[in-house]
Amino acid sequence: MRVLIAFLLGLAGSLAFGWWGFPQLLYQREPQPLQYNHKIHIEKGSMECSSCHEVAADGQFAGIPRTASCGACHAEPLGKTEAEKILVTSYVAPERELDWKVYSRQPMNVRFSHAVHVNKAAMKCEECHGGRGSATAAEPFYRNRVTGESRNVWGPRMIRVGLKPGEGMKMSDCESCHEQKGVSAGCLGCHR
Amino acid sequence: MADMAWVPTTMLDRKFVPRGVTRCTPARFSLWLTPWCLLLGLGLWAAYLCLRDGLLHTNMDNRFAFGLWIFLDLAIIAFGGGAFFSGVLLYFFKLKELNAVIRSAVLIGFLCYSGAVTVLAIDVGQPLRAWFTFWHPNAHSMLTEVTFCITLYLCVLAVEYLPVLLRNRQFRKIPSFLVFEWELHKLIPVLAGIGAFLSFFHQGSLGGLYGVLRGRPFAFRESFGIWPTTFFLFVLSAMAVGPSFLLIMTRVAEWVTRKRLVLESVYVRLARVSGWMLTFYVLLKSIDTMVWLNSTSRRGGFLPWEYYSWEPFGVWILFVEIGLFGFVPALWLMRAGKVNTSWLIAPALLACAGVALNRYVLTVQTLSLATLPFDEFLSYTPSWQEVAVFGGVVAYGVIVYSVLYRYTRLFPQEQER
Amino acid sequence: MFPGVNGFHWSPVHIIFLSAFGLVLSVLLVTLAVAFFRTLRDVRSGRAGAIAWHCDFEDLPRQERLCRHAFEGAAPGRLCDRGFDCRDCETHPKFATIETRWPVTLPAGLEYPETRLYHRGHTWVEPQPDGTALIGLDDLGARVFGAPEVVELPAPGTKLSVNGAAWRMMRNGASVSVRSPLEGEVIAHGAPGGQWQLRVKPEAGERAFRHLLSGAEAHAWVNAETDRLMILLSSTPTGAALADGGALVADLHQALPDAPWDEVSAAMFLNC
Amino acid sequence: MSATQKTSRTPRRYGMVIDLDRCTGCGACVIACAAENNVAPGAARENDRNSISLLRVFTLNNPTAAGRRTAFLPMMCMQCEHETPCVTVCPQQAVELDVLSGIVEQMPQRCLGCRYCMTACPYHARSFNWGDPSWPAGMEATLNPAVAPRMRGVVEKCDFCQSRLHAAQDAAAVNGSLDPGIYTPACVEACPTQAITFGDWNDPEGALAKSGETFAWLEGLGTQPKVRYRSGQNWLHEMAERGGAAPAKEERHG
């Protein structure tokens, strides 16, 4: 009996370490430079994803907007929040760029074409990026201390069965989608 | 390791030496180990250099992408084949004489395989990526088969050797160790069975490694199903040369320790088994060579004489491999019991040399020959680092074998003289 | 390789590969697990001693594995293959009817009373009228080991098995495990330094004592054992002093402090 | 059965025809290839046998006594189509024959560095990173961002400038198409005499189909290379047909 209790305690301890402790060690939490509210932009500003995130001319990177495009609307604070004040005084007025942490940035050897997926396959942004576009606050960014990549590439869930859109951007997630849609890309289709 | 009339009371490690056998003093034993430890140290240094800076420490290049290591790996794994074949003969064909050498055979097998895997890790150069093959294996590749079988077989050999280790004088003071040993020993035939199964496939797939190379007409052979003929020839040659190697190693151990470790009848049995297998192998090898020269190679647009027009790799190499190192030792070994037993080491050495030459021809000579008509014949000399890594592995084998000879009963017949 | 991992397909090649790999790995693990659980079972059911003896016996030097009938000439040079357990031996009754070939005299000064039965590990057994039996070290054993500094006796109630460990004794760095001559339950300890060490309730029936030596057979065996002791000691630097054919001293340990007593005691008490 | 005749389900079967009569051996293709694919400049220890060379130019001499002439032979990965020697041997699926483009793909990220593919390749078209690649200070700025740098201990080879194929695919996608069409690898672009024609063997109207009679090296092996050659000189055809490991006897002794 005592052995059983010790075993169960050890098991629980190991699981807790694996689920909670190890990610704490592995990932470094980094705040976004500003609290950004996607929802308010879409609802009150009646904007679309592509209003700010443009696909580059070569079709590759959807793009994080530059401060200048924020300044088009936010020349003066549009509300009374602290973030609004910081945006205008610290970034828009001195024309400084915001150091946004990109959740879905892939490793160097991966090549992703927004043009193929958005223009040709007519996929919605949510199919990969999940509900981030309608969130009210910018969630914290976690950087892998070893590889330097974003934790969102792996996704928050440890058990990777039945993942919802936007819960992971690992190679297997890309692959399973490609398999579902019956399009094969080959290794060098996505790698360079 | 050498002889001693009595184990002195003052001997520090007396309590670990099996009772009923004599061993030399620790000082003498250390003296014996010292050169081997130095060699091991040199090997470790060379291995460190290769892992630190990459394989530019070797003389391999884009043409000689496999060098000394693949030849030696293939050769020592063939020699280690004695472990599985002796197990099969003992447990399934009930050749009881082999009980006298089975522990030594299993240990030699384990050392050969672990040594080969170590050399592989260094000479492939990326041990941290070794798991790739297990996680994303290409089931069509001979190398995948080799990797899986060797890894599993290494585990099997380790478990097979465990009983011998547990019989050390200090371990056996814990009664449950001996009970575990006894229970495990009853199940050893199961392990010998899967060991034989694994060995069959990896000895074979090591042969297939070169036999499937369509782009290397010198090595390419006809296939049965998915396996080229070299698959089967490698299995047979490992079975043939395994007992011979065991014979040599036991003789060497007797010479170094200056003791009689096994009965003469054991040598006769090993030699006969080796002789018969070798005869069978050499016959099939001759047929295979004829088919390859006259059919396989010509179909790919290569005339057989072209392979042998480069000095020093003339046609003589074919005759030496099949004749001098094949038929001669085969006939000699088969006559064991009728000829002087103490001379049997000579044909055993010839047989081992033949199989080593076979591995050398298939690897190094294959890479030397150009396939493109305008390309050159190339030569290759291993760098000191490559040689040192291999020397280190040999030293590792000698050290472990010596230590285990000293502290466990490798030869049950040793005490009966 | 594994379903769900990139590059795996449910194709025949992958299925064959995966099942062969899984089969071999599971056979290996099952073998280890079976051996492990059988060990647990053996240890729990008290068979550990008998099994350990079985392994020890295999590793004993040849001259220590001679059949009991080899000493008095009925079966010269015959090796025992049953771990000195004559209780179920088929050939023992046949040899027992053969006349001894060699005359036997007990070495000078040694006492082996006819009332006692002797075990090959140098213990004696004396059946008592109340159905119990006393166990002690025999004369040669006592002379070889002398007075032990430490004796670890099994607690009353402990089950002993034939040739299993009965008790441990230590002296001057030498340590031996004395083999039990009987199968039975320990009832009481003897007085320290006394004649007998254990009082045992043996297993019922006549076969309980069949494997023990007595009378002329015991004497023949003691003769051979004395010779063996001489040979063991003769290869030591001080050994020559002994080979004079005289009587053995009471405490060899004291008389020859430089001899390798750990080795010699282990050999005499059939320790590995 | 040659690459030119085979029909297949692969949508594109990219290949080349190299006109040996036009090649001047200038080496512009070699330089362009190295620059495009982020091949580090050779270290002092490197020679032609242990450096990274995705594209090499051989000098061929006419072995017959009469009409001694020299030809230059650019060789890269031949993109073998049938029983591709390097694909089946790779123990961890780091090499594959792409079903969309017919290009033999090498994945350095998955490569263990066992070099079995290098021994399998009859054209010796594969290179191994024997040491760490290093760029002289300031030269990192010349790196091509579309090609990932490779580490020490992995094998690499020509992949028909995959980065340029990607760019062509992206450009097509911007216009709503998935077909990248015929793009231009770096060596083709750099060749001053236009000796290299790049195209699709599946396209009956394409440049490859119109290139006339072509031959391949080591055709007897049956691997159906998609890089083929043309020449008006008989001795080159004869040399290619000979397939063998040894040169003609007189040259060997001469």
The reported pLDDT for the residue numbered C242 is 47
Give the three-class secondary structure for A138.
Answer: coil
Q: Which of residues 132-161 of A touch C (CB under 8 A)?
A: none
State which residue of chain C sits closest to B416, comparing Cα positions: C62
- pLDDT for res B235: 92
Alpha helices (H) in A17-116, listed in sequence order: 22-26, 38-43, 49-52, 67-71, 82-86, 114
In this structure, the answer to whether residues C19 and C141 fall within a common structural domain is: no
Question: At which of C45, C63, C78 does a domain end?
Answer: C45
For residue range B228-281, list pLDDT tens digits in order: 899 999 999 999 999 999 999 999 999 998 888 888 888 999 999 999 999 999
Q: Which residues of chain C have pLDDT under 70?
A: 1, 100-103, 235-247
- Put simply, the answer to whether B300 touches D223 (Cβ < 8 Å) is no
* Domain of residue D166, CATH code: 3.30.70.20
Counted residue by residue, chain A has a size of: 192
CA distance B57 to D116: 19
In this predicted model, what pLDDT tens digit does every residue of B20-59 receive, in sequence order?
A: 778 888 888 999 999 999 999 999 999 999 999 888 888 8
Considering only alpha carbons, which residue of chain B is nearest residue D61?
Answer: B374
Q: Report the neighbours of C using a cutoff of 3 or more CB pairs below 8 angstroms.
A: A, B
Count other C-beta atoms under 10 Å from residue C49's C-beta. Answer: 23
Residue with tokens 């790995």: C25
Residue range of the domain that includes D50:
14-245
Query: Rounded to a whole number, what is the distance in Å from the CA of C223 to chain B's nearest CA?
Result: 21
Contact D147 A192 (CB under 8 A): yes
How high is the pLDDT of residue C29?
94
Per residue in A8-52, pLDDT (tens digit) is: 999 999 999 988 899 889 999 988 888 888 888 888 888 888 888
Q: Cβ of A171 under 8 Å from any chain C Cβ?
A: yes
| CB spacing of B55 vs D73 below 8 angstroms | no
B12 falls within a domain: no
- If asked whether residues C31 and C115 sit together in one domain, one would say no
Whole-angstrom Cα distance, residue B130 to residue B136?
Answer: 11
Is any Cβ of chain C less than 8 angstroms from the Cβ of B198? Answer: yes
To which H or E segment does residue D199 belong?
strand D196-200
User: From CA B26, how far away is CA B8, in angstroms rounded?
Assistant: 10
CB B301 within 8 A of CB D221: yes
The yes-or-no verdict on residue D247 having pLDDT over 90 is: no
Q: Residue B209 is encoded by which pair of tokens? A: 């490694």
B contacts of C55 (beta carbons < 8 Å): 167, 172, 178, 181-182
A58 with D163: Cβ contact below 8 A: no
**How is residue C58 written in tokens?**
């295999």
> Residue B361: which CATH number?
1.20.1630.10
Q: Is B415 on the interface with C (CB under 8 A)?
A: yes
Which of C6, C32, C39 faces B176 most closely, judged by CB atoms? C39
Q: Average pLDDT of A170-178?
A: 85
In a domain, D250, yes or no: no
CB–CB contact B183 C38 (8 Å): yes
Residues of B within 8 A of D115 (CB-CB) are 65-66, 124
Give the span between the Cα atoms of D153 and B130, in whole angstroms: 12
| Last-in-domain residue among C10, C30, C45 | C45
A175 touches C: beta carbon within 8 Å: yes
pLDDT value, residue B388:
94
Q: What is the pLDDT of residue D9?
A: 59
Q: Within an 8 Å CB–CB cutoff, is residue C206 touching chain B?
A: no
Number of domains in chain B: 1
Specify whether the CB–CB gap between B300 and B220 falls below 8 A: yes
Domain count, chain C: 2
Mean pLDDT score across all residues of chain D: 86
State whether C33 and C55 are in the same domain. no
At least 3 CB pairs under 8 A between chains C and B: yes
Query: Do residues C74 and C100 touch, judged by C-beta distance below 8 A?
Result: yes
- Domain containing residue B316: 22-416
Q: Are B302 and D219 inside 8 Å of each other by CB?
A: no
Q: Would residue B5 count as lying in a domain?
A: no
Q: Which residue has the higher pLDDT, D186 or A184?
A: D186
Which pLDDT score is estimated for B222? 86
pLDDT at D3: 44
Question: Would you say residue D136 lies in a domain?
Answer: yes
In a domain, B227, yes or no: yes
The predicted pLDDT at position C173 comes to 73
Chain B residues within 8 A of D132 when measuring between CB atoms: 53-54
Work out the minimum CA distance from D177 to partner chain A, whole angstroms: 6
Per-residue confidence at D117, pLDDT binned at 50, 70, 90?
very high
Q: Do A192 and D148 touch (CB under 8 A)?
A: yes
d(CA C21, nearest CA chain A) in Å: 24
Do residue C145 and residue C88 come from a single domain? yes
- In single-letter form, the type of residue at position B31 comes to L
Chains that touch A (3 or more CB pairs under 8 A): C, D
Distance from CA of B233 to the nearest CA of D (A): 20
Q: What is the DSSP letter of B134?
A: H
- Overall average pLDDT of the A151-161 stretch: 80
| Chain C contact for B197 (CB, 8 A cutoff) | yes
* pLDDT for res B244: 93
Distance CA B112, CA B54 (A): 25
Query: Which pLDDT score, from 0 to 100, does residue D171 have?
Result: 87
Residues 6+ apart with CB under 8 A from A74: A84, A87, A88, A92
B109 assigned to some structural domain: yes
pLDDT value for B315: 84
Chains that touch B (3 or more CB pairs under 8 A): C, D
Task: Measure the CA dihedral B219/B220/B221/B223, to 10°.
Answer: 140
Q: Are residues C80 and C5 in the same domain?
A: no
The answer on C134 and C4 residing in a single domain is no
Shared domain check, C163 and C110: yes
Region A156-164: mean pLDDT is: 76
Kindly report the backbone phi and psi dihedral angles of residue D178, in degrees, each rounded to the nearest multiple of 5, phi listed first. -100, -10
Out of B62, B135, B310, the one facing D128 most closely (by C-beta) is B62
Is residue D147 a part of any domain in this protein? yes
Q: Chain B to chain C, count of Cβ pairs less than 8 Å apart?
A: 114
Residue B1 maps to a domain: no
**Which two three-digit tokens encode residue B55?**
């394989």
Burial of D194 (0-12, 13-18, 19+ CB in 10 A): exposed
Q: Which of D144, D169, D178 to mutate to test the interface with A (most CBs of A within 10 A)?
A: D169
Residue type, B127: P
Asked if the Cβ–Cβ distance from B56 to D131 is below 8 Å, we say yes
Residues C59, C144, single domain; the answer is: yes
CA closest to A174 among chain C residues: C6
Nearest one of D231, D237, D49, D25 to B376, comparing CA atoms: D49
Instruction: Give the integer Cα–Cα distance in Å for B7 and C260.
Output: 9
Range in A115-124, A138-147, D11-20, D118-127 the model is least confident about: A115-124
Which residue has 């630097």 as its token pair? C237
In a domain, D158, yes or no: yes
**In a mutagenesis test of the B interface, which of C10, C14, C17, C256 is the best target, namely the one with the most B β-carbons within 10 Å?**
C17
Beta-carbon count within 10 A of A77 CB: 16
Taking an 8 Å cut-off on Cβ atoms, the answer to whether D49 and B141 are in contact is no
Contact C144, C162 (CB under 8 A): no
Residue C223 pLDDT? 86
Contacts of C8 in chain A (CB under 8 A): none
Question: C74: domain range?
Answer: 50-268
DSSP string, D139-179: GGGG--TTS----TT-EE---S-HHHHHHHHHHHHHTT---
B15 is a domain residue: no
Across chain B, how many H-helices and E-strands are there?
Answer: 17, 2
- Is the predicted pLDDT of residue D187 greater than 90, yes or no? yes
**Residue in D58, D220, D223 closest to B374 by CB:** D58
Highest mean pLDDT among A137-141, D145-149, D239-243: D145-149
Domain count, chain D: 1
Q: What is the pLDDT of residue B32?
A: 93
Rounded to 5 degrees, what are φ and ψ at C37? -70, -35
Query: Are residues C43 and B176, on separate chains, in Cβ contact within 8 Å?
Result: yes
**A185: chain D residues, CB-CB within 8 Å:** 100
Is A109 close to D148, i.e. CB distance below 8 A?
yes
Element housing D15 (H / E): strand D14-19
Tell me how far CA of residue C201 lies from CA of C53, C121, C124, C164, D51, in angstroms.
21, 19, 15, 16, 85
Burial code (b: 16+ CB inside 10 Å, e: under 16) for B386-411 equals: bbbbbbbbbbbbbbbbbebbbbbbbb
B187 touches chain C (CB under 8 A): yes
Q: For residue D38, is it within any domain?
A: yes
Position B357 scores a pLDDT of 93
Mean of all residue pLDDT scores within chain A: 85
| D57, two tokens | 């130019």
B136:C7 CB<8 A? yes
Secondary structure, 3-state, chain C: CCCCCCCCCCCHHHHHHHHHHHHHHHHHHHHHHHHHHHHHHHHHCCCHHHHHHHHHHHHCCHHHCECHHHCCCCCCCCECCCCCCHHHCCCHHHHHCCCCCCCCCCCCCCCCCCCCEEECCCEEEEECCCCCEEEEECHHHHHHHCCCCEEECCCCCCEECCCCEEEEEEECCEEEEEECCCCEEEEEECCCCCCCCEEEEECCCHHHHCCCECHHHHHHHHHHHHHHHHHHHHCCCCHHHHCCCCCCCCCHHHHCCCCCHHHHHHHHCCCC
pLDDT at D68: 67
Query: For residue A108, what is the nearest residue in chain D, using CA coordinates?
Result: D148
Chain D residue set in contact with A, beta carbons under 8 Å: 96, 98-101, 103, 105, 107, 109-110, 146-149, 159, 162-163, 165-167, 169-171, 173-174, 176-178
- From the candidates C6, C8, C10, C40, which should be mutated to test the interface with A, based on the most A CB atoms within 10 A? C6
C29/B contact by beta carbon, under 8 A: no
Choose among D114, D121, D244: nearest Cβ to B373: D244
- C2 Cβ under 8 Å from any chain B Cβ: yes
Residue numbers in chain B where pLDDT is lower than 70: 1-11, 415-417
Contact with chain C for residue B155, Cβ under 8 A: yes
